[in-house]
Amino acid sequence: MPLLGASVALVAALMTASVTIVIRRLGKTEQAATTVFWFAVSSLIPLGLLMLHFGGAHDAGTWEILAGLALSGGIAQLTLTGALRLAPVALVMPMDYTSLLWAMLLGSWMFGEVPTPGIWIGAPIIVASGLVIVWREHRLRRLAALSSEAVAPT
C-alpha cells in the first residue's frame, strides 16, 4: 500500500469527520443555506490558488457539465447540511456511504471500469459498518425511551 495514498485517505477521513461535527453544531444556530454559502466562500481562496496551477480553458460542453455538477453538488450539500441539523451524525453519515455504491455503478456504466478485488472486499465492510452504526443508534434510542418511561411517574 502506498504510504502517500494511505496518508491522504487518513487525513481526508479525519477532516471529513471534523467538518461533519462542526456542521452539526452550526446547524443548531444557522440555516443550512448559510452554512453552505460560507463553506463555498471559504473554499474560493485555496481552490482558486490551486486552479492557477492546475486549471485550463474549457469548451462550452465542459462548462455545461461543470454547471450541472455545481448545481447537483450544491443541492446535495444543502440536503446533507439540513439532515445533519435535524438528525445525529451517527445516523446521517452512514447513509453517505452509499456514494461508494453510486460511484462504482456510475464508473462501470459511464467509463467501463470494473471494480477491483479490493473494492469488492472493502465496500461491503464499509457498508456493513454503517448499518451496524444505524442499528446501534436505533437500539440506544429505544433503550433511552424505555428507561425514560420507567423513570417517569405514572
Determine the pLDDT at residue 152.
63
- The residue behind cell 452504526 is 133
For the chain, residues with pLDDT lower than 70 are 1, 150-154
Could you give the CA distance from residue 119 to residue 107 in angstroms, rounded to a whole number? Answer: 13
What residue has cell string 446521517?
92
Return the SS3 of 28: coil
Q: What's the pLDDT at 102?
A: 83
pLDDT in tens, 13-49: 888 888 888 888 888 888 888 988 988 888 889 988 9
User: What's the pTM value of the predicted model, to 2 decimals?
Assistant: 0.61
Domain edges within the chain: 1-86, 88-154
State residue 151's pLDDT score: 67
Backbone angle region of 92, left / alpha / beta, with phi > 0 → left and psi within -120 to 50 → alpha: alpha
